[in-house]
Copies of this chain bind each other. A is one copy, B any other.
Amino acid sequence: MEFEEARRKYIQTWGALGSQWGINKTMAQIHALLMISTEVLSIEEIMEELQISRGNASMNIRALIDWGIVFKESKAGERKEFFSAEKDLDKLAVTIARERSKREIKPALRILKEVSSIKTNSSKAEKQFTEQTKNLYDFVLKADNVLDKVTQYNENWLSKLVVRLIK
């Protein structure tokens, strides 16, 4: 396999994986592209490379910036804006984990807490409901805390975690 093919395959794969995890394909592909780029890229270069429209590129770059994993940069003497990606995988994973926790897990926890706290009569159905949703709340909360704890090791958290688990 030669470079161009590998490059295409990598970007495709990352985009497809994104879709499976609830991230839109183009967003994942833009990030994949920036990850392997030595230089910062302009919006035109991204449009050209991925064959997408200006609007699409603009909106997805904005979303990536909101996630905190793509940065806007300026080049001296150039009017245009350029973009680069977080390339450190430890940092990248931490940022994504924190962001998903904030956007999705925390709100879900709030609702689980709410629905599991209803006053129940003695029916079997209602008892099972509060018990199971309470369990779910506890489980998700615990998992969220673990994620938080683990990612606080900062650099090399994954390697440090491996070490801890082996011991």
- Which positions in A face B, CB cutoff 8 Å? 1-3, 6-7, 9-10, 13, 17, 19-22, 35-38, 87, 89-90, 93, 104, 108, 111-112, 114-115, 118, 120-121, 124-126, 128-129, 132-133, 135-136, 139, 142-143, 145-146, 149-150, 158-159, 161-162, 164-165
Task: Give the most central of A1, A2, A161: most B CB within 10 Å.
Answer: A161
A164 to B166, CA, bound (A): 11
Q: State whether A146 and B165 are in contact (beta carbons under 8 Å apart), knowing that A21-B21, A22-B22, A133-B36 are contacts in the complex.
A: yes
Q: State whether A158 and B132 are in contact (beta carbons under 8 Å apart), knowing that A17-B108, A38-B124, A115-B1 are contacts in the complex.
A: no
Interface residues of A: mostly helix, strand, loop or mixed?
A: helix
A2 to B111, CA, bound (A): 14
Nearest B residue to A127 via CB reads B38
In contact, A146 and B132 (Cβ under 8 angstroms): no
What residues of B have a CB within 8 angstroms of the CB of A164 in the complex?
Answer: 164-165
